[in-house]
Structure 1
Amino acid sequence: MLSILDWGVLLLFVLFPFAVAFLRAEHAGRSLHHFFLADRQLPWWLAGTSMVATTFAADTPLAVTGIVAREGIAGNWIWWNGALGSMLSVLFLARLWRRAGVVTDVEFIELRYSGKNAAVLRGFRAVYLGLLINCVVIGWVNLAMAKLLSIVLGWDQLTAVFTGFALTTVYVAISGLGGVVLTDLLQFGFAVMGSLAVAIFALGTPEVGGLQGVAAQLPESILRPLPYFEQDSPNAETRFTISLATFLAYLGVQWWATWYPGQEPGGGGYLAQRMMAVKDERQAILATLWFTICHYCVRPWPWILAALASLLLYPDIADHEAGYAMLIRDHVPIGWRGLVLGGFAAAYMSTVSTQLNWGASYLINDLYARFICSGATETHYVRAARFSTLIIMGFSVVITLYLETVRQAWEFILEAGAGIGLVLILRWYWWRVNAWSEITAMVAPLLGLVWISFFTAATFPDTLLYLVCWSTVCWLSVTYLTSPEPESTLVNFFERVNPSGAGWREVSAKVGKHQVRDLLPRFTAWFAACLALYGLLLGVGELLLPTKTGPAPYFATSLACCFFLYHRSDSIKLG
């Protein structure tokens, strides 16, 4: 239970967002641009930090704890592979999103495509992503927070869920994106402090014995950030890591093929919302780069260390995700416990506030204002946006009650979006992609998932590979069987966004711009940037928990790639 000091600290964390919300209420109410894009005036560091804060929810440490318990540190490649897509956004897409000048990435559909197909796709994606998928995401965040509060405070699940619902929905409806990102800044700092505190106190227990105790008591396979590549690796060891095939599937397929919030291959969702909310294209690039570094290199290791400690302290529990909450309950002292819970309340509110604002932007800008009530005043639309946040949160509460584990929801989202990622990338760089391509890429994995669920015994991640192959064949076939977008639409998009690459050569010739910039220098830079990022990530891990490899090769690779990027920066055109 919590002391009076703990409750006081926790109360401060909860009240802070409301103060910001009321200060930002008048500014957010001016127009949809103010409510959803903060009038496009965010600095890069604030937008980038908001991206990181949003992806740091109460569910993430719990999910990472469950992953480490089943598959060791290497199991985290299920989300570490997303760094490849994030770097793609930095070097290829961030500037293009800012240049497009739309309010949402769903509105982008009617900039890139035209006609009834584009309108149907825009309306469908607004409901599918803004309401259905968004509610699943909020549902698993609610589930994690409810699990945390039920273990630490003894609350039942309904009380925990409705408490989070009431607190977050009110301040989001008032403040708009400007208030959300301001609270994100401090909430991210508090959440990181809380994670560090849990890791330090858990490692400091006599049963664990610090980093040395972890290394001495746990099998090496759990501590390896990479799977075994040797064919003769011992069976007793490999059961605590992922297979080489799974590792290759993550790095070779998942990052570009599947849609997942915060790791969209085309840089969409709430990340695109923040790219479009900054002052200019350069700041969009810097914001996305800052997010990528913090997301993959700064945040994970406190969670992983705490997860390893939980394996030693609670080796026999059935729900390993709950082990993280038990660390807070049993090993974080009075005073600090309020800070830790406040940090996780901040992480929860940060994520849910973004999901609500982002989902409302789809429902209002791309459904209500586009198809139901066009031509109304900005004040009317802002009121509708505030009301829509209540609708989204209400649906998400219902979904929460049917979810059992965070990973269960993660895998469903990955499978439901399997195959669409390549379309979201190529629509920027290949003129032949049309609205039917994207419609097919959305529907095909859903149909395939139903078939696999009812008529096969396949499990994740094998299902992911089957669905990606099925969806890719479907949308490519439909692309060539249907007509391309009208020339006027393609020319308008090309002149407005100015994409690069040979995929627009035919269109560029029609507008008299025969020189299309080569993408090869950027692909080279992307490869080097990914190596630098992974070198830093793995080097930090080896520094904390040394294996036979040691940190030196990873840090050397990272430094060499950074040196290469610095000396090639003049030749890398990011436009």
Structure 2
Amino acid sequence: MELSTLDYTFIIVFFSIVLGIGVYVSKKSGKNSSEFFLSGRNMPWWLLGVSMVATTFSTDTPNLVTDIVRTHGVSGNWVWWAFLLTGLLTVFIYAKLWRRSNVNTDLEFYEMRYGGKPASFLRKFRAIYLGALFNIITMASVTLAAIKIGGIMLGLEPWETVVGAGLITVTFSALGGFKGVVYTDFLLFFVAMSGAIGAAYYLVNIPEVGGIEALIAHENVQGKLDIIPDFSNQNALIMLFIIPLAVQWWSSWYPGAEPGGGGYIAQRMLASKNENHAIGATFFFNIMHYALRPWPWILVALASLIVFPDVASIHEAFPNIAENKLGQDLAYSAMLTKLPSGLLGVVLASLVAAYMSTISTQLNWGSSYIVFDFYKEQINPNATEKQMVAVGRISTVVLMVLSAVLALALENALQIFEILLTFGAGTGLIFILRWFWWRINSWSEITAMFASGILSIALKTTSLGPFLFDVETGVFPDWAEYPFVVLVTTAIWLAATYMTQPESPEVLRSFYKKIQPGGPGWAKVVNEAKADGEAIAKDEKWSVPQGITAMLLGCVLIYTIMFATGYWIYGRTTPALVLTGVAIVSAFLLIKAWNRMKEDIL
């Protein structure tokens, strides 16, 4: 593709602004570790909410959605739409608890909730396991998408894309810290949204597609339009709809959708001004992430089925793409090559924005684990603020380099999504219950983490997987693999919980006194403390039932907005009107429930 002067102007101006922000905030961000990783804990909800949305607006997300739509249809997106339940559980129950904890990272929580050497091990191990290993895999997935975009749209070699895209991102991330990430996210969000919407509108109306009506009526597309899976296809219904909604959302740890909150979502809640700002930020994120943002990507994916009906047609159009990088996810980038001058520059800038936003967040978040939870805990307990900021900047660069190297060896986005999903299967329930059940201890988490990882590896790399779940000869149907991992992992960590000693009364009482989680799961601890003459519980109403009500109303609101948007696009007026009405009613009820919750918090 040939970029015009106008295209180059958009991209150069965009890069200049982003780097300028990083340099501008670098002095204040480097003042101490709290500023570098949490921006002084004084961020407003709207800025943090936009940052969360921008972070998850990654270059690999349109590729992933395109892969899903082309392979399983629109309804295949339930594999990630189901995480809305997790997200709203975080909004209405866990956001205020995280902000109340006042920790520097969500891993520091371990030595608040648990005690002794197991808690210390858990914190340090997960600092490397998540902050380095999983973080590098996630960033490699994002960089892989950038490689495919660069290869198709600009004819770049993989290493050229990696060096070009990574150098600017790692520079402003290392300079600006968390404040630089959040400030640039605000710009990146609007650039990314403009590019995605502009691309969808133009590509649906190119001559090959012929407009929205012709798109919907095309034979390649008609079988892919259903928002709810076809009930007659039992296997697809179970794998793409029932398992995500019944099991996956609460049982699996996945970056950005951790049950009970965690990772970079927790980092933003911890950086908020107060509990209400933490709730507002996460709620805004979930509305934008699920209700509105998917449709531009879905439309481009559907249009691609007309222009590039299969992988062979993509390869024919772009013969320079390496065999190991070919896949359905390439269709999104292939469609973007049809954009005109000007809009092409905006869309390329939006894709760069998506890449930079995600990578910069992952770098700062992963670096925070390495600094607070490993370096300061394991290597240099007396580290000065200056040393911690320096290690943060060095680890930022190292993480970027390692993820770039891994990206060169990977093939497609859906492959990575499935690996990460299975790898964390069965651990999610602990992250939900550890706030509200005193009996969970550090050994619960340690055994769940290792059981899930070992079992997942065994199923993926040995004959155990095909023996149990092969479509034709396995003991169980293939859709049972994920529930199997969840069931076995859950049984193992529950057994470990009851086979090991509970946390000491001192640790449990200290945690309860600070967090005030409430509920029957802490009754034993509260009553024993009371019997010893120690009052650890404040006289406040337990907010979890009210939070669950708000969560359910929020799910109805966001899902109906998402479905109504789809039906308006499809031209199906009756269901669109009904769903819009349901969304209005649920919004009214949710506002009332939220106002009651805010009064309880205040």
Same fold (TM over 0.5): yes
CA deviations 1:286-341 (Å, max 9, x no partner) are 00111010111121100001111111111132422111111111x21011111110
| Residue in 1 that maps onto 2:80 | 79
Take 2:482 and 2:14, find their aligned partners in 1: how far apart are those partners? 39
Take 1:450 and 1:282, find their aligned partners in 2: how far apart are those partners? 41
| Residue in 1 that maps onto 2:334 | 326
From 409, 424, 433, the equivalent of 1:417 is 424
Q: Is the Cα contact below 8 Å between 1:14 and 1:346 reproduced in 2?
A: no
Q: How far did 1:568 drift?
A: 3.8
Distance 1:135 1:368, change over 3 A: same
| Residue in 2 that maps onto 1:264 | 258
| Residue in 2 that maps onto 1:221 | 223
2:257 maps to a residue whose letter is: Q
Is 1:456 equivalent to 2:468 in the alignment? Answer: no
Is 1:490 equivalent to 2:515 in the alignment? Answer: no
| Residue in 1 that maps onto 2:591 | 566
From 546, 549, 559, the equivalent of 1:534 is 559
Percent identity at matched positions? 40
22-31 or 559-568, which deviates more: 559-568
Distance 1:565 1:43, change over 3 A: same
Take 1:115 and 1:108, find their aligned partners in 2: how far apart are those partners? 13
Q: How far did 1:549 drift?
A: 6.6
87-96 or 318-327, which deviates more: 318-327
What pairs up with 1:156-555 in 2 under 5 angstroms?
Answer: 156-218=157-219, 219-229=221-231, 231=232, 242-318=236-312, 319-329=327-337, 331-453=338-460, 454=462, 455-457=464-466, 458=469, 462-509=480-527, 510=529, 511-512=534-535, 513=537, 517=542, 519-546=544-571, 550-555=575-580
| Residue in 2 that maps onto 1:113 | 114
| Residue in 2 that maps onto 1:234 | none
1:156 maps to a residue whose letter is: E
Take 1:263 and 1:530, find their aligned partners in 2: how far apart are those partners? 15
Take 1:39 and 1:436, find their aligned partners in 2: how far apart are those partners? 33
CA deviations 1:470-495 (Å, max 9, x no partner) are 11111111111111111111111101
Instruction: Could you tell me which runs of 5 or more consecutive residues in structure 2 were left unpaired when the two chains were aligned.
Output: 313-326, 471-477
Distance 1:415 1:244, change over 3 A: closer
CA deviations 1:351-384 (Å, max 9, x no partner) are 0000000000000100001110111210111011
Take 1:517 and 1:42, find their aligned partners in 2: how far apart are those partners? 27
Take 2:159 and 2:482, find their aligned partners in 1: how far apart are those partners? 33
CA deviations 1:412-457 (Å, max 9, x no partner) are 1111111111111111111111000111111111111122121222
Q: What is the DSSP-based 3-state SS (H/G/I as helix, E as strand, rest coil) of the residue aligned with 1:560?
A: helix
Q: Is the Cα contact below 8 Å between 2:185 and 2:357 reproduced in 1?
A: yes
CA deviations 1:390-412 (Å, max 9, x no partner) are 11111111211221001111111
Take 1:340 and 1:220, find their aligned partners in 2: how far apart are those partners? 27
What pairs up with 1:20-39 in 2 under 5 angstroms?
Answer: 20-39=21-40
Q: How far did 1:559 drift?
A: 2.2
343-352 or 12-21, which deviates more: 12-21
Take 1:486 and 1:173, find their aligned partners in 2: how far apart are those partners? 40
| Residue in 1 that maps onto 2:324 | none
Q: Is the Cα contact below 8 Å between 1:42 and 1:279 reproduced in 2?
A: yes
Number of corresponding residues: 566
1:409 maps to a residue whose letter is: I
Take 1:385 and 1:441, find their aligned partners in 2: how far apart are those partners? 29
Take 2:5 and 2:586, find their aligned partners in 1: how far apart are those partners? 51
Q: How far did 1:69 drift?
A: 0.3
Q: Is the Cα contact below 8 Å between 1:66 and 1:321 reproduced in 2?
A: yes
| Residue in 2 that maps onto 1:55 | 56
CA RMSD of aligned residues (A): 1.7
Q: How far did 1:243 drift?
A: 1.9
460-469 or 412-421, which deviates more: 460-469
Q: What is the DSSP-based 3-state SS (H/G/I as helix, E as strand, rest coil) of the residue aligned with 1:222?
A: coil
Q: Is the Cα contact below 8 Å between 1:227 and 1:244 reproduced in 2?
A: no
Q: Is the Cα contact below 8 Å between 1:224 and 1:547 reproduced in 2?
A: no
Q: What is the DSSP-based 3-state SS (H/G/I as helix, E as strand, rest coil) of the residue aligned with 1:456?
A: helix
Take 1:342 and 1:519, find their aligned partners in 2: how far apart are those partners? 43
| Residue in 1 that maps onto 2:148 | 147
Q: How far did 1:78 drift?
A: 0.9
Q: How far did 1:527 drift?
A: 1.4
Q: Is the Cα contact below 8 Å between 1:532 and 1:561 reproduced in 2?
A: yes
Q: How far did 1:531 drift?
A: 1.2
CA deviations 1:161-216 (Å, max 9, x no partner) are 12222111111001000010000001010001111121111111122121101111
Give TM-score, length-normalised by structure 2. Answer: 0.91
Q: How far did 1:14 drift?
A: 1.7
Q: Is the Cα contact below 8 Å between 2:76 and 2:240 reproduced in 1?
A: no
Distance 1:94 1:496, change over 3 A: same
Q: Is the Cα contact below 8 Å between 2:543 and 2:597 reproduced in 1?
A: no
514-523 or 479-488, which deviates more: 514-523
Take 1:393 and 1:441, find their aligned partners in 2: how far apart are those partners? 29
Instruction: Could you tell me which runs of 5 or more consecutive residues in structure 1 were left unpaired when the two chains were aligned.
Output: 232-237
| Residue in 2 that maps onto 1:235 | none
Is 1:124 equivalent to 2:118 in the alignment? Answer: no
Q: Is the Cα contact below 8 Å between 1:432 and 1:479 reproduced in 2?
A: yes
